[in-house]
Amino acid sequence: MDNLANQGVRFTNAFTTTPICAASRASLLTGLYERRHQFTFNTPPLRSEFTDISYPTLLRSAGYYTGFIGKFGIESNGELLVENKKEALGKMFDVFDNFEHWGPNGYLVKQADGSMKHLTDVTADKVVGFLHGRKQGKPFCLSVSFNAPHAQDNVPQQYFWPSSVDHLYREVTIPNPANSSPDFFANLPDFLQQSLGRERWFWRFDGVEKFQQMMKGLYRMVSGVDTAIGRIRKEIKQLGLEDNTIIIFMSDHGMFYGERGLSDCWLLYEDCIRVPLIIFDPRSEETTNYATLIEQMVLNLDIAPTILELAGLDVPKVTQGCSLVPLLTDFRPQTWRTDFCCEHLFDHPKIPKSEGIRTERWKYIQYFEQQPIYEELYDLKRDTQETTNLIDDIALVEETKHLR
């Protein structure tokens, strides 16, 4: 990953608009906000009008050989939630291999010879197979989604890693997050203290030894993905594809790893909405041996239109994201977004719904189903950890009204 970042363009202010896998992955496919595509857990399937404008559908209709390998995420309990499933998947992908729930703990996959193999390594195997089996003479687009480092929620160990990285991090002590002291949890409103994020904190982080065990497991899983990415890039080079293969690396959302006394995602704090984003284009004159950094705000919604423009295709007019190609070719365009909406609309009794606005300086959040509505306002320039809620600051009445 470091090598990819050093050779490509790294976006230092990349965000997801909805910090949960189901909704964010629908946004990645379509370039639309959650309230537009209306898909998350416990909703009807993603409608055909949206899969029809997804980047794989448009690429495939333009002659690309398309594939998906790994965690699709637009599903619930292993069932794909796509309207007219067979037809929609046929329009999107020539190869579709969604296998995140294989194995007794989700990460160990039984092989033909009876041995067990880690899902990250199986994913890499499948990618190599796709690269070798692609149709010659056709451009291709492969979406690869590693399930790691997602915890396996139904077992006590939570984090499972490939044996190849078992030796890593044994002699190190993982530092606690800066905002993980009990005071941060005590400052949360009651409905967040009683939320699912707190329950899962007890699964993973309620003790010094448990925190170390869990975080080392998490880091090993990330290292497993890192190794797999290196293997895939090596295969691309050996196949003579390295000079014309663009790689985009991103996550669907951030996470709490003990910050504020919580675990998992769902909330609109920086911990959950910030994501990594790297774009490596070997055709670019900017490709170097050191990272090019871009500070403008970019979103998960931007990935679909970026892929389409890089492929020379028109971006659908309904797309709410913006192609990042102008940033890749002119690192200081005259106009670019300075704010964006974020939201979490999943209907769950222990995950409060929220919506907000993030600007270059301010973060406004409202939990609109609480009685009364609970609001937060943070000055991100002075308070990067979002520790001081300024919603009742008289001097900021006009700013608050504007953000509302």
Within-domain flag for 391: no
* pLDDT tens-digit readout, 207-259: 999 999 999 999 999 999 999 999 999 999 999 999 999 999 999 999 999 99
Single-letter residue type at 360? E
* pLDDT tens-digit readout, 333-348: 778 999 999 999 999 9
Confirm if 342 and 349 have CB atoms less than 8 A apart: no
Q: 288 falls in which pLDDT band (50, 70, 90)?
A: low
274 is in which domain, residue-wise?
A: 2-338
Within-domain flag for 182: yes
For 76, the enclosing helix (H) or strand (E) is: strand 75-76
Within-domain flag for 350: no
* pLDDT tens-digit readout, 353-401: 999 999 999 999 999 999 999 999 999 999 999 999 999 999 999 999 9
pLDDT at res. 102: 57
For 14, the enclosing helix (H) or strand (E) is: strand 14-15
Confirm if 224 and 118 have CB atoms less than 8 A apart: yes
- Say how many CA atoms lie within 13 Å of 304 toward its Cβ: 28
* pLDDT tens-digit readout, 129-179: 999 999 888 999 999 999 999 998 888 999 999 999 999 999 999 999 999
Rounded Cα–Cα distance for residues 220 and 212 (Å): 12
pLDDT at res. 17: 99
CA 118 to chain centre: 21
Within-domain flag for 297: yes
Coil, strand, or helix at residue 324?
coil
Terminal CA-to-CA distance of the chain, rounded, Å?
A: 39
Within-domain flag for 359: no
Length of the chain: 404
- The token pair that represents 36 in the structure block: 């537009």
Within-domain flag for 385: no
Give Cβ neighbours of residue 288 (< 8 Å, ≥ 6 apart): 6, 7
Rounded Cα–Cα distance for residues 195 and 110 (Å): 36
Within-domain flag for 384: no
Least Cα distance to 386 among 394, 376, 395, 396 occurs for 376
Count how many domains the chain has. Answer: 1
Q: What is the DSSP string of 131-160?
A: HHHSPTTS-EEEEEE--TT---TTSTT---
Coil, strand, or helix at residue 273?
helix
Least Cα distance to 258 among 313, 178, 352, 339 occurs for 178
Within-domain flag for 393: no
Q: 75 falls in which pLDDT band (50, 70, 90)?
A: confident
Give Cβ neighbours of residue 123 (< 8 Å, ≥ 6 apart): 69, 70, 144, 146, 147, 228
Q: 99 falls in which pLDDT band (50, 70, 90)?
A: confident
List the Cα angle 164/168/172 in 5-degree steps: 170
Rounded Cα–Cα distance for residues 404 and 84 (Å): 38
Domain holding 169: CATH number?
3.40.720.10
Mean of pLDDT values over 90-96 = 97
pLDDT at res. 79: 81
Confirm if 151 and 158 have CB atoms less than 8 A apart: yes
